[in-house]
Amino acid sequence: MDYESSLDRAMEDVPDIGGDEERLQIPDPETQKDGAFTRVTNLDEIADVLSRETEHLHRFIQRELGTSGKLDNGRGRYNGTFSQQDFDAAIDAYVDEYVLCSECGLPDTRLVREDRTPMLRCDACGAFRPVTKRSTSSQQQQQQDAVEEGKTYTVEITGTGRKGDGVAEKGNYTIFVPGAEEGDVVDIYIKNISGNLAFARLD
């Protein structure tokens, strides 16, 4: 099943999450190393809390980690070695893109399709916005916005992760910065990168 098909499935008969943001208690991903693979054994449980299709979440994680994988009985298997922090960050990025309302910040949302465009509609405040698969920038733009390990950058913190880390965006990368708060403009040092996710410290 390709990404667009899984997105269509995710939009079918999605139940409301209900309540406020504090009620969205997302389980920590339970990871297991299996030879050349890393498994997330409770992916279906995480997707259920988010009221999204497990396949849709799985496809998103693959893209964020820059790897391939397989979904088997609600468990995700990913080619390569990844830490729980890697999966935490990917799930945070998924929640920000496909679950939380960008206006009121609540998770009372549904994926719908309007005029063939996938939309995130909020049942709490009525806001809606398009959700689209991230497009590939031109090579020149990718080089300009590239993030490299061991280098420093100045970024604006535009969000907060589930565990309180500041979140910034640069090019195709989502950067997690412990100790930074939304609205801060900070200098950061990139410690490591996993797919489209980068982990930094304040410089």
Q: How many CB atoms lie within 10 A of CB 158?
A: 13
Highest mean pLDDT among 6-15, 42-51, 136-145, 157-166: 42-51
| Start and end residues for every CATH 2.40.50.140 domain found in the chain | 139-202
Is 139-202 a domain of CATH 2.40.50.140? yes
| Start and end residues for every CATH 3.30.30.170 domain found in the chain | 3-130
Residues in Cβ contact with 2 at an 8 Å cutoff, skipping those fewer than 6 apart: none
Reported pTM: 0.69
**Is 49's pLDDT higher than 90?**
yes
CATH T-level fold of 3-130: Defensin A-like (3.30.30)
